[in-house]
């Protein structure tokens, strides 16, 4: 399991990019999993398929926006003290 949500989403994006690049070459999803994903990321085939269904880029951008807003709020609180 990932350390936090941000690192989890980065891992999912890496897996999705590998799949996209390999599918362009004409490889099947099962082949990609067995030869590229299973050894490097140590996830099951069902987890691999679940990762492909996640819109990780959108979630990561929303998470970063939320983090930036929280930091801005903390900075404004500190400057008011």
Please say whether the beta carbons of 5 and 63 come within 8 A. yes
CA distances from 54 to 49, 51, 69, 78 (A): 9, 5, 24, 37
pTM of the predicted structure, to 2 decimals: 0.82
- 8 against 79, higher pLDDT: 8
Q: What is the pLDDT of residues 29-81, one digit of tens each?
A: 999 999 999 999 999 999 999 999 999 999 999 999 988 888 877 767 666 66
Residue 43 belongs to domain spanning: 5-80
How many other CB atoms are found less than 10 A from the CB of residue 67? 11
Looking at residue 70, its pLDDT comes to 83
Q: How many domains does the chain have?
A: 1
For residue range 13-30, list pLDDT tens digits in order. Answer: 999 999 999 999 999 999
């Amino acid at each position: 399991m990932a350390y936090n949500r941000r690192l989890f989403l980065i891992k999912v994006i890496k897996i999705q990019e590998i799949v996209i690049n390999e599918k362009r070459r004409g490889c099947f999803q099962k082949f990609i999993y067995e030869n590229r994903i299973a050894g490097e990321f140590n996830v099951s085939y069902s987890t691999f398929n679940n990762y492909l269904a996640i819109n990780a880029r959108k979630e990561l951008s929303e998470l970063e926006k939320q983090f930036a807003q929280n930091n801005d709020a903390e900075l404004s609180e500190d400057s008011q003290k």
